[in-house]
């Protein structure tokens, strides 16, 4: 309980700005780490390629009735009888075996079905065969890719309207970062890409976007009145906003990873439910990459873009000049930081409380010159001529 209490206190202190980790200030380090991971993912994709399921590449799935053969026995028996194509074998819960052979024609599938039946000593009519043509698989691949592109475009349009174009570009870069890493891990591990994988990818992109929008919303509020103060730069306020949402991002990511990890490591790994691996791996890798990108990529990129704006550049010069002047006067930086937080909060409150033109007219009736008290110039002065 004490550790949980300490974690809660840490979250409160981060939210109040009493402590902070300089994520934005060290953004070059995070950029370097992300570039390195991305290069490894792209290299894995270039070397191994993606192992497409039959839904995308075409092929056949042969399901046998209950058999005493193990997965290894089946692989050894059908080796060399699959027309030169790689066969994926899985043991089913009813004792049967699922044999999948990708990228084969309908005629080849009939020959392979007969060879598998002979190798396993089964009647070919008792082996269920599901055949997917290559043209149908190609059409599904195009539709999946088109859906992904449309998703990206809608994300950019929404963020540009809700926030600004800089945040939209930063979010798009983070999404591409997450997608590249997830696809690269699939290539390195060698898992099949199935419709479940596509569902997983769209799910984690949505989750990554959600996490990024939470940070951006806090950033928008924190920097709303930034030019009305001279104590913080944009990058410093961006870092403050990121620290305020840090614990929330970590908590939501950990809670989401627990059931996904159970599907991947327990369901797919220990219990042997291999059909869960395609969607579980996409979710696990994507959720982790999404949490990383929302903290280490998206917000630092926004700070980089904003620091190029002339108004924000001028603000940074004023802030640095004021700090230099305060240092010459011997002003305590701790007091300055406390007053800076108060100034930002006061500026935000003043902007919230400032009435609109219509409100002023409604409150005052007629907008005009403010009535002034009459001056008593002649008070206690006798009338007539001076003596």
Instruction: Name every residue whose Cβ is closer than 8 Å to that of residue 209 and which is 6 or more positions away in sequence.
Output: 155, 171, 175
Q: What is the dihedral of CA 231, 233, 239, 245, to 10 degrees?
A: 70
Burial class of residue 146 (count of CB atoms within 10 Å of its CB; 0-12, 13-18, 19+):
exposed
For 168-226, write each residue's pLDDT tens digit: 999 999 989 998 998 899 889 888 788 778 888 878 777 778 888 888 888 888 888 88
Name the residue among 242, 205, 220, 202 with its Cα closest to residue 161: 220
Domains annotated on the chain, with CATH: 2-52+137-310 (1.20.1640.10), 59-132 (3.30.460.30)
Token pair of 169, please? Answer: 């570009």
**Per-residue confidence (pLDDT) for residue 190, from 0 to 100:** 82
Tokens of 166: 């800089």
Largest Cα separation within the chain, whole Å, is: 140
Whether the predicted model's global pTM rises above the 0.85 cut: no
Predicted confidence (pLDDT) per residue in 222-249, tens digit: 888 888 888 888 988 888 888 888 878 8
pLDDT of residue 16: 61
Burial 242-269 (b: 16+ CB within 10 A, else e): bbbbbbbbeebbeebbeebbebbeebbe
What element of type H or E holds 89? Answer: strand 87-91
Helix (H, G, I), strand (E, B) or coil at 148: helix
- Region of poorest pLDDT, from 11-25, 91-105, 331-345: 331-345
């Amino acid at each position: 309980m004490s550790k949980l209490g300490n974690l809660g206190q840490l979250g409160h202190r981060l939210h109040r700005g009493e402590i902070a980790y300089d994520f934005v200030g060290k953004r070059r380090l995070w950029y370097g780490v992300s570039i390195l991971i991305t290069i490894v993912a792209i290299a894995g994709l270039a070397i191994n390629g993606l192992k497409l399921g039959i839904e995308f590449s075409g092929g056949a799935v042969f399901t046998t009735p209950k058999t005493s053969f193990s997965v290894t026995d089946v692989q050894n028996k059908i080796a060399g009888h699959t027309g030169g194509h790689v066969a994926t074998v899985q043991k089913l819960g009813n004792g049967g075996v699922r044999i999948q052979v990708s990228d084969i024609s309908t005629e080849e599938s009939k020959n392979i079905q007969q060879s598998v039946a002979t190798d396993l000593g089964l009647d070919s009519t008792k082996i269920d065969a599901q055949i997917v043509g290559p043209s149908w698989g190609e059409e599904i691949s195009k539709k999946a890719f088109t859906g992904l592109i449309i998703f990206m475009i809608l994300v950019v349009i929404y963020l540009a309207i809700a926030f600004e174009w800089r945040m939209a570009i930063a979010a798009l870069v983070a999404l591409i970062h997450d997608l590249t890493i997830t696809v690269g891990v699939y290539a390195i591990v060698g898992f099949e890409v199935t419709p479940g994988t596509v569902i997983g990818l769209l799910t984690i992109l949505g989750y990554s976007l959600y996490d990024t929008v939470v940070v951006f919303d806090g950033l928008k509020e924190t920097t709303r009145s930034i030019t009305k103060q001279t104590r913080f730069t944009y990058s410093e306020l961006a870092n403050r906003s990121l620290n305020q949402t840090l614990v929330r991002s970590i908590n939501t990511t950990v809670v989401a990873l627990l059931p996904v990890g159970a599907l991947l490591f327990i369901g797919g790994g220990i219990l042997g439910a291999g059909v869960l691996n395609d969607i579980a791996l996409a979710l696990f890798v994507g959720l982790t990459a999404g949490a990383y990108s929302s903290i280490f990529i998206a917000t630092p990129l926004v700070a980089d873009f904003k620091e190029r704006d002339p108004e924000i550049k001028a603000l940074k010069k004023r802030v640095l000049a004021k700090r230099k002047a305060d240092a010459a006067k011997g002003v305590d930086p701790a007091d300055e930081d406390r007053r800076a937080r108060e100034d930002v909060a006061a500026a935000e409150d003043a902007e919230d409380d400032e009435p609109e033109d219509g409100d002023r007219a409604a409150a005052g009736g007629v907008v005009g010159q403010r009535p002034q008290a009459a001056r008593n110039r002649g008070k206690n002065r006798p009338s007539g001529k001076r003596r």
